[in-house]
Amino acid sequence: STTINSQSTNHENKSETLQTFTRCKSPTNNNNSLSSSSNATSIEYSQTSSPGDSGRRRLVPDFNIDDLLLISELGRGNGGIVTKLQHKSSGTFLIRKTFELDVKTTTRAQIVRDLQVLWECISPHIIEFHGAIHSECLISIYMEYMDVGGMDLLLKMVGRFPEPIIIHIADSVVSGLLYLWQELHMFHRNLKPSNILINRAGTIKLCDFVVSLQLSEYVASGFLGFSTYIAPERLAGELFSAASDIWSLGLTLMELAIGQYPIPSIDPVDFVRAFAPDQETNMLEHFRAAKTGELLPALTDPNSRSTIGMYNLFTYIVEQPAPRLPVYCFSSEFIYFIHSCLQKDANDRLSIEIIHRHFIPELIKLTCPHSNHNTLRPIFIDSCLINYLRGVFARQQAEAIDAVALAVGEDFDSIDTDFEVTTMLDSV
């Protein structure tokens, strides 16, 4: 990891080793392809529209590497580093993923084509790709920064999500999947809580979808490891299909609902401890938490669950029944939706089109009764998420202030005690 730290800086400062993937503005350079230049140091951005972007402009203007300020390192794993950067003139934050690239020329060419697909992917539900630079041994990918982070991080903060918030998360995720399938004719292949990003404005976007197996090996697995959200048919050796993404969707949403990865099956006693014994009381709790940002306890402490080896886990996914939610913990419609995604037989799962056209709108009507009009639907969804996040972060801030006040109070108590002892000694 020390090597990649030094190399990630050096390979962006030595222009003779750089190759820049850009979408060039000049019509003579083929506006729809990534160009490679051995002596370029800038990443250029087209302000023209692409299919599906509705004329939306990209968040960051043209810039050189020198225009970026390193803020902090966010994480690392298996040969990769994630860092937070800031564009100096605009103040916009970006994420850079840098990882080692030891591949054949043919594989590198495939990765270049994959990056072109990322560049053409412009959707309000997909994380924005700003560009990439590579040398012989490293590649850096620049992407949009989401200030809250992945749903896995937010889940640790809140315990578990109330049903209305999960439905709104599902709405954005399904819209993102639909864009990938219909516009780019590709699957996500790596859907899980950590790959669903959110910011404080309530915007939710997908990231780290797999364009090809080559890019998967160097981006997805390079940072995240082999996914435990993979569908049972894939573990059994069958080809990936749209239904495989639906399994991952169902498993992800169930985890958000209970606060922990749902496989192996959860002890029914844990549900009894975390939920009220009747559906009506639980639904009132869901709506109250969604409105106020009230924290809901996860079923169990994730650290207290017994661990299971990867082989045993995958065997369990293939051979054992899919996880299920108790009927009294959530609405009947929500439970039916989750269970329909988590069918062991891929042919029995819901299609993305049916989820988008039927299930999501009906579930949103249950949570926002006035949001049945298509033009108003995004407004109600955004306001619901924003109010929830405001409540969550307000509570977090209040707890931090209380903790500081408590620590200061203890310090003053210690000072008072020392003063009293000193006074007594002086009087003697």
Distance CA 389, CA 153 (A): 13
Q: What is the pLDDT of residue 401?
A: 84
Q: Is the pLDDT of residue 424 over 70?
A: no
The position carrying tokens 């940072």 is 223
Residues 6 or more apart in contact with residue 48 via CB below 8 angstroms: 25, 31
CA torsion 351-155-305-280 (nearest 10°) is: -70
Average of per-residue pLDDT across 24-43: 33
Could you tell me if 371 and 383 are in contact, meaning their C-beta atoms sit under 8 angstroms apart? Answer: no
Q: Is the pLDDT of residue 39 over 60?
A: no
Mean pLDDT for the chain? 77
- pLDDT tens-place string over residues 347-362: 999 999 999 999 999 9
Average of per-residue pLDDT across 314-337: 96
Average of per-residue pLDDT across 307-328: 93
Q: Is the pLDDT of residue 47 over 60?
A: no
Q: What is the pLDDT of residue 342?
A: 98
Q: Is the pLDDT of residue 318 over 80?
A: yes
Q: What is the pLDDT of residue 100?
A: 76
Distance CA 376, CA 364 (A): 12
Q: What is the pLDDT of residue 111?
A: 73
Average of per-residue pLDDT across 56-78: 74
Residues 422, 427, 428: CA angle, nearest 5 degrees: 100
- pLDDT tens-place string over residues 197-247: 999 999 999 988 765 444 554 454 444 445 799 999 999 988 888 999 999
Report the CATH superfamily, name and number, of domain 2-144.
Phosphorylase Kinase; domain 1 (3.30.200.20)
121 pLDDT band (50/70/90 cuts)? confident
At residue 64, φ and ψ (nearest 5 deg) are -100, 165
Q: Which among 7, 148, 19, 132 is positioned nearest to 79, based on CA atoms?
A: 7
Neighbours of 360 (CB within 10 A): 21
Type of residue numbered 94: L
Would you say the pTM of this structure is higher than 0.85?
Answer: no
User: What's the burial of 53, exposed, middle or buried (CB within 10 Å: 0-12/13-18/19+)?
Assistant: middle
The whole-angstrom distance between residue 242's C-alpha and the CA centroid of its chain comes to 20
Q: Is the pLDDT of residue 69 over 50?
A: yes
Q: What is the pLDDT of residue 395?
A: 87
Q: Out of 16-20, 61-65, 201-205, 309-313, which region has the weakest mean confidence (pLDDT)?
A: 16-20
Type of residue numbered 339: H
Distance CA 388, CA 352 (A): 27
Q: What is the pLDDT of residue 248?
A: 96
Considering 60-69, 100-109, 294-303, 401-410, the range whose residues carry the highest mean pLDDT is 294-303
**Cis ω before 302 (30° cut-off from 0):** no
Q: Give the residue ranges of DSSP H helices in 36-189.
A: 105-120, 151-158, 163-183
Q: Is the pLDDT of residue 405 over 60?
A: yes
Q: What is the pLDDT of residue 187?
A: 87
Distance CA 425, CA 416 (A): 14
Assign a CATH topology to domain 149-390: Transferase(Phosphotransferase); domain 1 (1.10.510)
260 pLDDT band (50/70/90 cuts)? very high
Q: What is the pLDDT of residue 6?
A: 41
Q: What percent of the chain has pLDDT over 90?
A: 44
* Parallel, antiparallel or unpaired: strands 93-100 and 129-134: unpaired
- What angle do helix axes 360-367 and 163-183 make, rounded to 10 degrees? 150
Q: What is the pLDDT of residue 57?
A: 47
Tokens at 31, concatenated: 């506006």
Q: What is the pLDDT of residue 202?
A: 92
Distance CA 174, CA 393 (A): 26
Q: What is the pLDDT of residue 239?
A: 86
Q: What is the pLDDT of residue 78?
A: 62
- pLDDT tens-place string over residues 128-148: 888 888 776 778 888 899 999
From residue 274, alpha-carbon distances to 125, 164, 327 in Å are 32, 18, 14
Same CATH fold assignment for domains 2-144 and 149-390: no
Q: Domain extents for the chain?
A: 2-144, 149-390
Q: Is the pLDDT of residue 29 over 60?
A: no
- pLDDT tens-place string over residues 177-186: 999 999 888 8
Q: What is the pLDDT of residue 118?
A: 79
Looking at per-residue confidence, does 412 or 385 come out higher?
385
